[in-house]
């Protein structure tokens, strides 16, 4: 027959076990929550992907500007805008405002009311003579029916991939011909000589290697867009690139996950990996 002290001991050990299990559960939940942070966020609709909202002066001006990357990337290389025009890769780092546009910089570098592109004169950005309807073409946040181009109609004939437009195929097939030189703005350069593609071995055996197209990246970006700011060293093995840093917006994540195809599209880099992880 069990004594009362034995029963008390049993209860204590049961309570201890329960507490231990609860602690384990909490730790497991905490681990899962932290792991969730490091998973790529689900990508938005392709029409919303790469959307930039410029709202620094929205309280005093004609409202926030909505810039869709899909429209301009079908016409220009990344390099033209981010190197020659000088748009920074980080939000609010360019210092763009109406007066820089009027003086022929930033948006005004092309949108000056004089430059002709694809047979059309580009409208002047932030011109004093502009009427409300013209301002609304860019200052369009929260305004319906003011944009000239809509994603669905604009990209209707573009080849599609696993996620929206497949820009690489679009360029290869000649559907788009991104311009890499703008008169009066770009510097004339000789064609690049070093364009070798290479494979990047993953840190773990269970991860498929990356087939990195240096050629594709250098044609669209030039050299100075990626080096040294995004990829600070050329020596192999000195920097440990990981998906964690990509998800945080560093290295490949400076573009992929923001404008270039999302990080969920594993196959985009790891060619033998599953196609899409939502």
| CB of 32 or CB of 129, closer to another protein | 129
* b (16+ CB within 10 A) / e for 63-74: bbbbbbbbbebb
| Minimum distance of another protein from residue 218's CB (angstroms) | 8
| CB of 25 or CB of 95, closer to another protein | 95
**Beta carbons of 239 and 227 less than 8 angstroms apart:** no
| Minimum distance of another protein from residue 85's CB (angstroms) | 8
- Reading the block at residue 225, the tokens are 């867009």
| CB of 67 or CB of 163, closer to another protein | 67
Distance from C-alpha of 192 to C-alpha of 237, rounded to nearest angstrom: 25
| CB of 235 or CB of 272, closer to another protein | 235
Would you tell me which residues interact with another protein (CB under 8 A)?
Answer: 83-86, 88, 95, 99-100, 103, 105-106, 187-194, 222-225, 227-229, 232-235
Distance from C-alpha of 205 to C-alpha of 94, rounded to nearest angstrom: 41
**Beta carbons of 208 and 273 less than 8 angstroms apart:** yes
- Reading the block at residue 230, the tokens are 């995004």
| Minimum distance of another protein from residue 234's CB (angstroms) | 4
| Minimum distance of another protein from residue 223's CB (angstroms) | 5
Q: Which residues pair with 66 in a beta bridge?
A: 53
| Minimum distance of another protein from residue 140's CB (angstroms) | 24
| CB of 74 or CB of 100, closer to another protein | 100
Burial of 257 (0-12, 13-18, 19+ CB in 10 A): buried
Distance from C-alpha of 181 to C-alpha of 177, rounded to nearest angstrom: 12
């Amino acid at each position: 027959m069990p004594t009362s002290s034995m029963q008390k001991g049993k209860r204590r050990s049961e309570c201890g076990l329960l507490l231990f299990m609860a602690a384990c559960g909490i730790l497991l939940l905490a681990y899962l929550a932290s792991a969730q942070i490091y998973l790529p966020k689900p990508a938005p609709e392709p029409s919303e992907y790469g959307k930039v909202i410029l709202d620094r002066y929205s309280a005093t001006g004609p409202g926030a500007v909505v810039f869709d990357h899909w429209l301009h990337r079908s016409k220009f290389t990344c390099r033209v805008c981010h190197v020659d025009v000088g748009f920074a890769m980080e939000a609010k780092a360019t210092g763009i405002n109406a007066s820089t546009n009027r003086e022929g910089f930033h948006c005004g570098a092309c949108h000056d009311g004089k430059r002709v592109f694809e047979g059309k004169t580009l409208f002047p950005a932030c011109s004093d003579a502009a009427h409300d309807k013209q301002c609304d073409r860019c200052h369009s946040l929260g305004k319906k029916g003011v944009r000239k181009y809509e994603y669905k109609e604009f990209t209707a004939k573009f080849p599609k991939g696993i996620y929206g437009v497949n820009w690489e195929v679009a360029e290869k097939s000649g559907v788009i011909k991104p311009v890499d030189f703008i008169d009066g703005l770009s510097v004339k350069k000789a064609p690049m000589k070093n364009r070798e593609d290479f494979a990047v071995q993953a840190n773990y055996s269970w991860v498929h290697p990356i087939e990195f197209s240096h050629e594709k990246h250098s044609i669209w970006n030039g050299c100075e867009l990626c080096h040294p700011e995004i990829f600070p060293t050329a020596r192999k093995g000195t920097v440990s690139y990981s998906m964690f840093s990509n998800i945080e917006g560093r290295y490949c994540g400076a573009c992929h996950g923001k404008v270039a195809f999302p990080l969920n599209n594993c196959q985009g880099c790891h060619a033998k990996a599953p196609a899409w992880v939502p």
